Structure 1
Amino acid sequence: MQIQISKRVSNLIVFLGFIILFSSVSLFATMSAFMMTDEIYQGVTVGGIPVGGLSVDAAEQKIRDHFQQYWDRPVILFTYNKQQWPITPQNFDLTIDAHNLALGAYDVGRNGNIIHRLLQRYLTLNQGYQISLPLSYNKDKLVHILTGIANSIDRPAQDARIKQSQNGTVINVISEVTGRKVDISKTVAAALGKLHSDLYASVPLIVQETTPQITAKDLANIDGVIASYTTQFDPSDNNRDQNIRLAAKRIHSVLLRPRQKFSFNTQVGLRSPQNGYKEAPVFIDGNLVPDWGGGVCQISSTLYNAVLLADLKILERTSHFHPPGYVPVGQDATVADHLIDFVFANNLPNNIYITNEVTDNQVTFYVLGHPKPNSPEIHVAATTKKVLEPNTVIKQDPNLELGKQIIESEGQKGFLVTTYRIKSLNGKEISREFLATDEFKPVDRIIRIGTKAIQKK
C-alpha cells in the first residue's frame, strides 16, 4: 500500500515539474522576444495614448499628432450648474515634449537589473503601464482665466429681510441669498491633475457656499408691528443729521431671537471719524460741547421708547446729564463709546425684527413680530416730576466796573422724575412697572459783578 502511494506522489511531482519547466521555457521565450525587440513594449500608454509596438520616432509622431488635434479644441471644460467655460491650450500656453515622452515609453522594461526588467515587462504586458504627461503651461494665465469666471459666480451672502410699506404696516419677506465663492486654488489644482493623465479635463468649479445668518424661515412668524416710536430732528445741522443717519443704518434689519440680547454699542460700533461720524453738539459734564457722533443719542433714545412700548426687557439704560428735547423727560437713553451702553433683551416667545425709517426730519423705529390679539396697551408715564431750581452764583470781577452786572449763564432748571411702564386693557390699568428715577441736576445761574474802582479825574 505504501509503495503505491509513493509512486503516485512521485508521478505528481514529475508532472508538476514538467509544467513548471514548460512555463519557464515559455516565459523565457517571451522575455527573450521582448529583449530582442527594438520597439516600445506592448501595454505602454502615454497620457492615454497607446504606443506599444512603435519605434521611438513613430511614438513621438503619434503623441504629437494626438496632441495637435486638441490645439484648437478645449482641453479643460470648467462647469458650474448648467454653465460651461471651455479652455484651449493657447489660452494658457499648454505644450508637451513628445520626444522625451517617446523616450520614456521606450525605457519601460529596459532599466534596472535583469529581474526588475523582466518583472516590469511581464506586468506591462498583462496589466499595462501608464506614463503621465509632463505638461508645460502658464499657471498664472489659467488662474487669471478662472478669476474672471469666478467674478461671474461669486456673490456675498444676503440675509432674508423684511420690506415694509410706506406706513410700516404691510410686511413682505424677501428671501435670503446663499453666498458663493469659487476656490480658485483647488479648482486649478484639480484641472491640472486631470490633464497629467489625459489631455482633456471636465472640471466642476469648486465653490464654497455661505449660509446667511437670517433665513426666510426665521421671519416666517413676523407679520405685524408690535410697537413704533418717532422723534423729530433738525436736518439743517448737517453734521448731526449725518450722525443720526449713520447710526440708524447700523440698526436697520436686526433679528433678535427669544432671550437674545441687543447691545447698542456693539451693533452701532465706535462713533469715530474713521467710521464716517462728524462732530456735533453733545452734553459733557453739563456743558454743550462738540464731540464725535453728536446726535447718536437721539437714535438710542428713540429705540428705547419703541422697545418700551414693545414690552421688551431693559437690561442697561442711563439718562443724560441734561434732558434732551426730542423725548419726554425721563424717557431718554444716552450712550458713550466704551462707557455707557443701552442693552435690552427679547423676552417674547417669538423672533422680533427691528427696523427704522429716516425721513427729512424724523426717525421712526419699528419693532416687528407676531402681535398677540387682545394685547394690553402700553404707555410710559412720569408719575412724579419735581422741578429743581438752579442756584445763583455771584462772581466778583475786578476787570468789570464797580456795581455793573453781567449774566454769564442763565442756568437751567433740573428735574427729578420717576417713570413707569403702564399696561392697560379695555381702558383699565392692569400693571405698572417701575423703570427708573432720574435726576437731571440744575445748571447754576452765574452773574458777574464788577469790583473795579472808578478812578477820579
Structure 2
Amino acid sequence: MQIASGKRTTNIILFLAIIVLFSSVSLFAANAAFAVRDEIYTGVKIGNIPVGGLSEAEARTKVTTLMNDRLAKNPLILIYKDREWTIQPTEIKLSVDIDSLIKQAYQVGRSGNIIQRLQERYITINKGYQLPINFAYDKEKLSEILTSIATTLNQEPQSAKVVLNGVKIVSIPDTEGLKVDVEATTKAINDKINTDSLPYKVSLVVNVTKPNIVLEDLKSIDDLIASYTTQFNSQNENRVQNIRLAATSVNNILLRPGETFSFNQTVGLRLAEYGYKEAPVFINGKLVPDWGGGVCQVSSTLYNAVLLADMNILERTSHYRPPGYVPLGQDATVADNLLDFKFSNSSEHNIFIGSELTDTHLTIYVFGKSEKRPEITVAATDKKVIEPNTIVKQDPDLELGKEVVESEGEKGFQVTTYRIKQLNGKEISRELLAKDEFPPDDRIVRVGTKNLHDQK
C-alpha cells in the first residue's frame, strides 16, 4: 500500500514538472519571438489607445491621429452652478509629447535585467500595461483666460437693505460675494488633465462671501419709526463732499437689540486720503478750515433721528458754538479719536438706519417693527442768553480817543433739553437729555492812546 502510494505521488510530481517545463518553454519561446520582432509588446496601451503589435512608426501615426481627433472634439469645460465656459485645446496649446510616449511603450519589456524583462513581458501579455498620458499646456495663457472669466463672475457682497418707496417699506435681498480662486482652479485643471481622459469638465473654485446683512435680518422691519432732516448750503462744495462721505458711511446700518452704534468707528477717520476735504469748523470758538468740516451735521441729524426713535443715547457732546442746522441744544459734535456719538438699540427688534442726500438736504431714517409707540418730541427749556463782555484794549498806534471794534463778539446760551413721550395725548415720561452751555465770545474794542502833542 505504501509503495503504491509513493509511486502515485512520484507520477503526479513528474506530471506537474512536465507542465511547468512546457509552460516555461512556451513563455521563453513567446518572449524570444517578441524579442526578435521590432514591435511594441502585445497588451501595451498609451492611455486607452492599444499600441501592442505595432511598430514605433505605426504606433506614432495611430496615437497622433486619435489624439488630434480627441483634442479637436473635446474642449475643456469649466463649470460654476448653471454656467459654463468652453476653452478650446488650441487656446492653451494643450499638447502631448507623443514621441516620448512611443519610446516608453517600445521599452516596455526591453529594459532592466533578464528577470525584470521576462516579468514585465509576462505581465504585459497577460494583464496589459497602460502608460499614462501627461498633457502639457501654456500655463500663462490659461491664467489669462481664468482671470478673464473671473472678471465676469467676481462680485462684491451686497447686504440686504430697506428703502422707502413713497410711503411703502421695501426690503431688497442680499447678494453673495463671489471671487474665483485662479490658483486653486488652475490646480484642479492640472490634476484633471493628468489623471482623467478626455473630455475634461472642471468646476471653478469660487470663494463665496456672505454679506453683513441678509434678508432674514430684515424680516421684522416693516415700519418707519422716525426720520430727521437738516438743510445745508450746496455752494460749499468741500463741506457737501464731507457730508456726503459721512452720510454714506451711516447708510444701511443694522443694529440688533442691545447693540451699540459708534459714529467714529462707523465713519472712520476724516482724512484727505479717504476723500475728506477742508471746510469750516469751530475750533476753540473760532470758525476755521479743517479736514472733515460738515461731518458734525451728519452726527447731529442722526442724533435727532434716534432720539425720535426712542433709542438709548450713550455718548453725546455739544458744540462749542451752537450750529444753525439744528435747534439749540439738539446738536452732537464729533472729533477723530476725541469726541464720539454713541447710542444703542434699546428696542426688542432689529432696527435699520438709512440716509438720503439731496442737493440741499440730509435725511436720516430709522426703520423697525410696526407696533404701538408713544409720540416723542424733543423740547428745549430754560433757555438763557448770555451777553458777551466788552474788553477794551489800549492801542498806542491809534489816535487818542478813537475807538475801533475789533470783534463784535457772540452771545452765549444756556439750554436744557428733554425727550418727552406722550401716549393717547398724555405725557408719560420726561427724560433729561442735557444741560448745555455755549459760552459767549467777548466783544473787543481798541481805544487809541496816541498823544498828538508828542508828535509835534
Instruction: Give the TM-score of the pair, scaled to structure 2.
Output: 0.91
CA contact (8 A) 2:255 2:261 kept: yes
- Within the candidate set 437, 447, 451, 1:449 is matched to 447
After superposition, residues 209-248 of structure 1 pair within 5 angstroms as 209-248=208-247
CA contact (8 A) 1:407 1:447 kept: yes
Matched length: 451
For 2:407, the equivalent position in structure 1 comes to 409
CA contact (8 A) 1:176 1:214 kept: yes
**CA-to-partner distance for each residue in 1:95-151, whole Å, 9 max, x for gaps?**
322222111012223322344334434444455433222433211112222222222
CA distance in 2, matches of 1:73, 1:337: 64
Q: Are residue 72 (structure 1) and residue 72 (structure 2) matched? A: yes
CA distance in 2, matches of 1:434, 1:18: 115
After superposition, residues 151-170 of structure 1 pair within 5 angstroms as 151-166=151-166, 169-170=167-168
CA contact (8 A) 1:73 1:88 kept: no
Secondary structure, in 3 states, of the residue corresponding to 1:101?
helix
Q: Which moved more, 1:71-80 or 1:422-431?
A: 71-80
Secondary structure, in 3 states, of the residue corresponding to 2:314?
strand
CA distance in 1, matches of 2:9, 2:283: 112
After superposition, residues 322-337 of structure 1 pair within 5 angstroms as 322-337=321-336
For 1:143, the equivalent position in structure 2 comes to 143
For 2:248, the equivalent position in structure 1 comes to 249
CA contact (8 A) 1:221 1:370 kept: yes
CA contact (8 A) 1:74 1:86 kept: no
Counterpart of 2:382, as a letter, is T
Q: Which moved more, 1:197-206 or 1:445-454?
A: 197-206
CA contact (8 A) 2:381 2:416 kept: yes
Secondary structure, in 3 states, of the residue corresponding to 1:196?
helix
Counterpart of 2:415, as a letter, is V
CA contact (8 A) 2:74 2:198 kept: no
Over 3 Å counting, the alpha-carbon distance change for 1:226 and 1:92 in structure 2 is same
Counterpart of 2:357, as a letter, is V
CA contact (8 A) 2:329 2:415 kept: yes
After superposition, residues 8-407 of structure 1 pair within 5 angstroms as 15=12, 19=16, 22=19, 26=23, 29-30=26-27, 32-37=29-34, 38=37, 39-166=39-166, 169-197=167-195, 198-373=197-372, 375-407=373-405
Report the Cα offset of residue 248 of structure 1: 0.9
Over 3 Å counting, the alpha-carbon distance change for 1:104 and 1:388 in structure 2 is same
CA distance in 1, matches of 2:318, 2:21: 102
> Percent identity at matched positions?
52
Report the Cα offset of residue 433 of structure 1: 2.0
Report the Cα offset of residue 65 of structure 1: 1.0
Over 3 Å counting, the alpha-carbon distance change for 1:12 and 1:376 in structure 2 is farther
Counterpart of 2:33, as a letter, is M
Q: Which moved more, 1:320-329 or 1:30-39?
A: 30-39
Q: Which moved more, 1:379-388 or 1:328-337?
A: 379-388
Counterpart of 2:180, as a letter, is V
Report the Cα offset of residue 15 of structure 1: 4.9
What residue ranges of structure 1 are gaps of 5+ in the alignment? none
CA contact (8 A) 1:61 1:98 kept: no
CA contact (8 A) 1:47 1:196 kept: no
Over 3 Å counting, the alpha-carbon distance change for 1:335 and 1:376 in structure 2 is same
CA contact (8 A) 1:317 1:342 kept: yes
**CA-to-partner distance for each residue in 1:39-75, whole Å, 9 max, x for gaps?**
3233322132222232222211111111221353333
Counterpart of 1:152, as a letter, is T
CA contact (8 A) 2:134 2:193 kept: no
| CA RMSD across the alignment | 2.5
Counterpart of 2:452, as a letter, is I
Secondary structure, in 3 states, of the residue corresponding to 2:270?
coil
CA contact (8 A) 1:47 1:199 kept: no
Report the Cα offset of residue 175 of structure 1: 1.1
CA distance in 2, matches of 1:20, 1:387: 127
CA distance in 2, matches of 1:87, 1:12: 70
CA distance in 2, matches of 1:84, 1:187: 14
**CA-to-partner distance for each residue in 1:158-191, whole Å, 9 max, x for gaps?**
111222124xx31111111122222222222222
CA contact (8 A) 2:79 2:85 kept: yes
Over 3 Å counting, the alpha-carbon distance change for 1:22 and 1:363 in structure 2 is same
Secondary structure, in 3 states, of the residue corresponding to 1:322?
coil
Report the Cα offset of residue 418 of structure 1: 2.4
Counterpart of 1:136, as a letter, is A
Counterpart of 1:449, as a letter, is V
CA distance in 2, matches of 1:13, 1:429: 121
Over 3 Å counting, the alpha-carbon distance change for 1:118 and 1:314 in structure 2 is farther
**CA-to-partner distance for each residue in 1:196-242, whole Å, 9 max, x for gaps?**
34343122222222222211111111101111111111112222122
**CA-to-partner distance for each residue in 1:7-61, whole Å, 9 max, x for gaps?**
9799679857855873575366336523531432333221322222322222111
Report the Cα offset of residue 404 of structure 1: 1.0
Secondary structure, in 3 states, of the residue corresponding to 2:72?
coil
CA distance in 2, matches of 1:9, 1:283: 122
Over 3 Å counting, the alpha-carbon distance change for 1:340 and 1:129 in structure 2 is farther
CA distance in 2, matches of 1:228, 1:370: 15
Q: Which moved more, 1:438-447 or 1:29-38?
A: 29-38
